[in-house]
Structure 1
Amino acid sequence: MKNILVINTGSSSFKFQLIQMPAEKVLASGLVERIGQQNSEIHFTSEGYSGKQEQDVPNHSVALKAVTNLLMDPEKGVIKNASDITAIGHRVVHGGTTFSETTVINDEVKQEIKSLFSLAPLHNPPNLTGIEVAEEVFPNAKQVAVFDTAFHSSIPAKAYKYAIPNKLTEENDIRLYGFHGTSHKYVSEQAIEKLGKSDSKIISVHLGNGCSITAVENGKSVDHSMGFTPLSGLIMGTRSGDIDPSVIFHLVDKLGYSLKEVNEILTKKSGMLGLTGFSDLRDIETEAQKGNRECKLALEMNAYRIKKYIGSYVAAMNGLDLLVFTAGIGENSSTMRNLICENMDFLGIELDPSKNDIRSKENRIISSESSKVKVMVIPTNEELEIARQVDKLV
C-alpha cells in the first residue's frame, strides 16, 4: 500500500487528498478556499472528523503548512509523521513542450516549471511553491508532477497552430497548449463509460474560478478553449478570456498603460471581477437575484461565450453525444447550467429543470428524456486521476 498525497494548487484555492493506493481509499481530503482574501476557510475531512475553520491564509505556502498540521493532528489527522507519505503528486498547470507525461521532480524539472511562470502566472508559481514546501515537510517522499497540458498533446496541428509566421511556432513554441487536462481527462473517461462506447463525441465544460471547454473525440482531446496560456477562452473569475489583441496595443499606445499593468488587468482584474466587482460566482448570483444589473449581464455574457464554444465544437466534431459540466461552478450552479443550455434545442440540447436543480455529488444526467444530446454533471476528481498516474510511476 502507498499513501499518496495529492496537492492541487489553483489560482485562489488549494485542494488535497491523501489516497491509499492501489485501493483508491481516501484517508483525508479538504480544501483551502479564498486564499489571499480576508475570509479564507480550511475544510478538512478524515475518518474521525469533518469540519471547517476560518484562518488567515495569505498565500499557498501557509495553506500547505496548515493542511500538513491537520494531517498529523493527534485527533483529526490520519498519519503520525511525514514518513508515512510515500509520494506526493503535484498538479502543475503548464508543461510547455517539454513535458507530455507524468514526471518525477528534480532540480531541472523545477527550473523548467519556473521558466514557464510567464505563461501561467496565476498557476505555475503556486504550483512550484507547493512543490518546494512539500519537499521541506516531506523530505523522504517522492515528488511527482502531473501536467495539465499533457491530455491536450493529442490536439492536431490545424487546431493548435496560430496563424503567425511558422518560425515563431517552430523555434519559440508559440502555440495552443490547453489546460485543466487532468480534469477533462477524468470526466471524459467517466462520460465514455456512461455512454458505453469508445467512438464518442463529448464536450467537457470545466467551470470554476478558471474556466475551459474541451472537445473530446474518441477519448482524445481535439480542441480546447485555452491557448498559449490559461488566459484565453471563456470568461473567468478574474481573467478576461478571449479578447481582440489590438485592445492590448490600444491600452499601451493610446491610454498609457505599461505591458506589466495590462497583464495585471487581463489576468487579475478582468473576467467576472472586472464586470461586477466580485470574482466568486456565488456572490454574483446572489446579487443578480437582488436585481443587480451588472451581475445579471455578467452571467448572461459568461453563458453566451460558453454557448459559442459549444456550437463551434459541435461543428468541428460534426456531432455531439454528451455535454458534461464539471468543477465548482459546473457541478453546483444550476443557474449557469440553465443559462448555457437554454435555447439550444436546435443542437439537440434540452435540460430537465427538476433534474438540473438537484444538488448531488454523484454523476447524474440532467437532460430531458427527449433531448437528443445527453447532458451530465460529473464531479471532477483531479486528485484521484493524479494519484493513479503517480501510482503507476512510483
Structure 2
Amino acid sequence: MSALLALNAGSSSIKFALFDLADTPLAMPPLWQGQVSGLHGPQPRYQDGLADHPLPVDQASAIQSALQHILAQLPRHLGTRALAGVVHRVVHGGDRHVAPTRLDRSTLAALRSLIPLAPLHQPHALEAIEHCQGMLPDTPQLACFDTAFHHTLPEVEQLLPLPSELRLQGIRRYGFHGLSYQYLAQVLPQRHGDTAQGRLLCAHLGSGASLCAMQAGQSVATTMGFSALDGLMMGSRSGSMDPGVLLHLLDTAHYSPAQLADLLYRRSGLLGMSGLSADTRVLLQQEADHPGARQALALYVRRIVRECGALVAVMGGLDMLAFTAGVGERSAEIRRRICEGLAWLGISLDDNANKAHAPLISSPDSRIKVVVEPTQEEWMAATAARALL
C-alpha cells in the first residue's frame, strides 16, 4: 500500500493533500488535507480536518517552517502506507514542460530560469521542492504545471504583436490556472453531461483570476498570457494594463523594474483601487460607505464581463459558464453581478440556488447553463502524477 502527497506552495499559503494510490480513481476526499495560510502575515494558521491553530514560523524561511510542520504530521496519516512520491504544483513550465515530470537537477535549473515570468509563485514552489528533496531524499519529487493545459491554444492565441525574434526567446502567451481548468474539463461533463463538452467558459476567480474558453474539453483561449499579471483585475494584481502607463512611470516617475513589479503584483487590483482590501468579502461589506470599495468592485466585475464577451466571440457562442476558486465558489453576489452583465447572452440565475452555492445556479429558462464547481488542483496534480509513477 502506498500514498501520494500533493503540495501547492503559493505566494501566501501551502495547501496539501494525501491520496491513497490503491483507490481507483484516487480517493476524494483524500486521506488528509489542509493548508498553512497567511504565511508572510502576522499570524499564519495551520488547518486540517482535525486542527485549526496559529502556527509560529520563522519569517526568514516561512515556507520551510510550514513544510517541516506539515511533514511532521505526515506519518500518522500514512499509517502503514509507504510514501510513493510528492507532487508539486508549479505555475510555469515554459515551452518544454507540457506534461507531469519527475524533478531532477536539470529540470529544476530550467524551472528556475522561468522565475521572471512568475515571480509571485515560481520561487515558492521551487523552495518547497528543494526543501522536500532535503527532508525526503529517497522519495520521488514530481511536478505538474499550470501552463501545461494551455498547450492546445491555437498558434494565433499564443502570439504577441512583437518582433518575431522575441518569440524565439520564449516571449509568447502561455496561460495559467491550468490544473484548475483541467479539473473542470474532466469533472463538468460527469456532472452536467454533453453541454460541458461544448462551448464552455470557465471563470477561475480567486486572489489570482482568469478566464478560459474551452471546446471539447481543450483550452482554445484564455485571459492570462505571458505572465500571471495579464487579463482580469485581481486581488492585488493589475491585470491587463496599457503599456504606455508603464513607460510613463519609468520615464517621469523614475520607477525601477523592482518598483514596477511591486506595484503591478502587490499594490494594484482590488487592494490598490480600494485602498482597503484585496478581499471581495471585505469590499462588499464596506461598499455602501466606501467609494474606493465601490469603484474597485465595479471595475472588477466590468473587466470580467468584458473579457467574457471577448471569449464568447472567439468561440462563436456559449453553452455553459462555470465559476470556480475562492470568489467564484463562495461569492453569490459577485456571481450575480457578473451574470447580470451577461444577461444579453440569455443567462438567467435562480437566486435561491445561487445563494446556496448549488452546483447548478441558472434558472430553468436560462439559455446558458451556469454552474459552480469547487476546484481540486491537488487532486488533479495527484491524478496526473499517479499516471507518471
Q: Which category describes the TM-score, using the shorter chain as reference length?
A: over 0.9
Question: Equivalent residue of 2:77, what SS?
Answer: coil
Q: Which moved more, 1:275-284 or 1:152-161?
A: 275-284
Pair 1:193 & 2:167 matched:
no
Change (3 A) 1:113 1:227: same
Aligned to 2:52: 52
Residues 367 and 376, structure 1, Cα contact 8 Å, conserved in 2 = yes
Quote the offset at 1:306 in angstroms.
Answer: 0.7
Aligned to 2:263: 265
Residues 38 and 56, structure 1, Cα contact 8 Å, conserved in 2 = no
Quote the offset at 1:51 in angstroms.
Answer: 2.8
- Scaled by the length of structure 2, the TM-score of the pair is 0.94
Query: C-alpha offsets along residues 293-319 of structure 1, whole Å, 9 cap, x if unaligned?
Result: 211221111111110111111111011
Residues 322 and 375, structure 1, Cα contact 8 Å, conserved in 2 = yes
Question: Equivalent residue of 1:285, what SS?
Answer: helix
Alignment of 1:269-280 (within 5 A): 269-276=267-274, 277-280=276-279
Question: Equivalent residue of 1:17, what SS?
Answer: strand
Residues 22 and 391, structure 1, Cα contact 8 Å, conserved in 2 = no
Q: Distance in 1 between matches of 2:345 and 2:14?
A: 37
Change (3 A) 1:160 1:323: same
Quote the offset at 1:352 in angstroms.
Answer: 1.2
2:201 paired residue among 187, 200, 203: 203
Aligned to 1:152: 150
Q: CA RMSD in A?
A: 1.6
Aligned to 2:353: 355
Q: Distance in 2 between matches of 1:389 and 1:29?
A: 18
Question: Equivalent residue of 2:204, what SS?
Answer: strand
Q: Distance in 2 between matches of 1:319 and 1:193?
A: 22
Aligned to 1:316: 314
Aligned to 2:366: 371
One-letter code aligned to 2:72: N
Query: C-alpha offsets along residues 18-43 of structure 1, whole Å, 9 cap, x if unaligned?
Result: 01124123110001222211132211
Pair 1:330 & 2:334 matched:
no
One-letter code aligned to 1:4: L
Pair 1:39 & 2:43 matched:
yes
Quote the offset at 1:359 in angstroms.
Answer: 4.3
Residues 320 and 371, structure 2, Cα contact 8 Å, conserved in 1 = yes
Quote the offset at 1:80 in angstroms.
Answer: 5.8
2:231 paired residue among 226, 230, 233: 233
One-letter code aligned to 2:166: L
One-letter code aligned to 1:376: V
Pair 1:284 & 2:288 matched:
no
Quote the offset at 1:282 in angstroms.
Answer: 2.7
User: Which runs of no fewer than 5 residues in structure 1 stay unpaired?
Assistant: none
Query: C-alpha offsets along residues 139-168 of structure 1, whole Å, 9 cap, x if unaligned?
Result: 221100101100000001111101111121
Q: Which moved more, 1:175-184 or 1:334-343?
A: 334-343
Aligned to 1:382: 377
Change (3 A) 1:282 1:31: farther
Question: Structure 1 segments of 4 or more deviating over 3 A?
Answer: none
Residues 357 and 372, structure 2, Cα contact 8 Å, conserved in 1 = no
Residues 85 and 138, structure 1, Cα contact 8 Å, conserved in 2 = no
Q: Distance in 2 between matches of 1:219 and 1:343?
A: 25
Aligned to 2:174: 177
2:98 paired residue among 74, 97, 100: 100
The count of aligned residue pairs is 380
Aligned to 1:246: 244
One-letter code aligned to 2:52: K
Question: Equivalent residue of 1:206, what SS?
Answer: strand
Pair 1:79 & 2:111 matched:
no
Aligned to 2:66: 63
One-letter code aligned to 2:305: K
Q: Distance in 1 between matches of 2:73 and 2:283?
A: 32
One-letter code aligned to 1:18: L
Q: Distance in 2 between matches of 1:194 and 1:156?
A: 28
User: Which runs of no fewer than 5 residues in structure 2 stay unpaired?
Assistant: none
Residues 3 and 78, structure 2, Cα contact 8 Å, conserved in 1 = no
Percent of counterpart pairs with the same letter?
A: 36
Q: Distance in 2 between matches of 1:99 and 1:241?
A: 25
Aligned to 1:29: 33
Q: Distance in 2 between matches of 1:150 and 1:382?
A: 13
Q: Distance in 2 between matches of 1:7 and 1:299?
A: 32
Change (3 A) 1:129 1:201: same
Question: Equivalent residue of 1:223, what SS?
Answer: strand
